[in-house]
Amino acid sequence: MHVDVVRKDIKNLHLGVYPPEGRVRVAAPLRVDDEAVRLAVIEKLPWIRRQQARFLAQERQSPREYVYRETHYFLGQRYILNVIEHDGRPRVEMRNKERIDLYVPPGSDAREREEIMLGWYRKELKALIPPLIAKWEGIMGVTVDDWRVRRMKTLWGTCTIEAGRIWLNLELAKKPVQCLEYVIVHEMVHLLERNHTDRFRELMDRFMPQWRYCRDMLNQAPLTHEEWGY
């Protein structure tokens, strides 16, 4: 078993198993040697195997082709895609609680259709972020100087502490709003505590006691074919 080991100035050893394939990561105090880490992993081996089996058994979507009646997600809800070829402006419209209309140029391919959908996801996600940041700035007493959205394959979010900037994964547009809020809080806590230390978890517990539930929701199926998580 391959285990990623990160040495940090922390009090206790933390072991985690992460989607999509059950990557094992250990954050170990500086004073703990390699043999102690190995023994800790061996002790947790049955639990690790159960977590890996759970991740591998989750439903995972194949790469999207952006064709008629294909399934797509927005804010945690499942929609059926209706592709409409026309000569006007490309756009996306939500017809009702079940269908999304995708207006595309005649003869457009999957890549072009994907770009139209991603542009819509980006616009919708960007509208949700500012009020959530403002809410948590007041609660946490920190300031986010800048935020941006981009596609990320291995992280739901990240924080550039020196610049006071947080980055959010475009894929969050497909998840429930509670998941977006959790990621925002997670990254804002990094402005108070750089690493995933005991203090980091204590701050998460203080500001968002239900954060573990939100994290589990974030990493639940259906996942994309390349999705990772916290």
Mind listing the pLDDT tens digit for each residue in 69-127?
Answer: 999 999 999 999 999 999 999 999 998 889 999 999 999 999 999 999 999 999 999 99
Say whether both 100 and 202 belong to one domain.
Answer: yes
Task: For residue range 127-139, list pLDDT tens digits in order.
Answer: 999 999 999 999 9
* pLDDT interval class at 224 (50, 70, 90): low
Alpha-carbon span 226 to 229, nearest angstrom: 10
* pLDDT interval class at 223 (50, 70, 90): low
Give the CA-trace dihedral at 38, 44, 46, 51, to 10 degrees: -110
Say whether both 25 and 115 belong to one domain.
Answer: no
Say whether both 23 and 134 belong to one domain.
Answer: no
Mean pLDDT of the chain: 90
Give the pLDDT confidence score for residue 195 in this predicted structure: 84
Say whether both 142 and 111 belong to one domain.
Answer: yes
- Per the DSSP assignment, residues forming a β-bridge with 169 are 150
Domain that holds residue 128: 71-218
Is the dihedral angle over the CA atoms 30, 36, 37, 40 positive or is it negative? negative
Q: CB 94: neighbour CB atoms within 10 A?
A: 14
Extract the runs of DSSP E, i.e. beta strands, from 48-107.
Answer: 71-74, 77-85, 91-94, 99-104
* pLDDT interval class at 53 (50, 70, 90): confident
Give the CA-trace dihedral at 117, 120, 124, 126, to 10 degrees: 110
Say whether both 135 and 174 belong to one domain.
Answer: yes
In this prediction the pTM is 0.76
Alpha-carbon span 54 to 25, nearest angstrom: 17
Say whether both 123 and 213 belong to one domain.
Answer: yes
Say whether both 149 and 198 belong to one domain.
Answer: yes
Alpha-carbon span 99 to 76, nearest angstrom: 14
Say whether both 119 and 76 belong to one domain.
Answer: yes
On whether residue 230 sits in a domain, the answer given is no
Is the dihedral angle over the CA atoms 110, 114, 115, 120 positive or is it negative? positive
Split into its structural domains, the chain has a count of 2
Give the CATH number of the domain where residue 101 resides: 3.30.2010.10
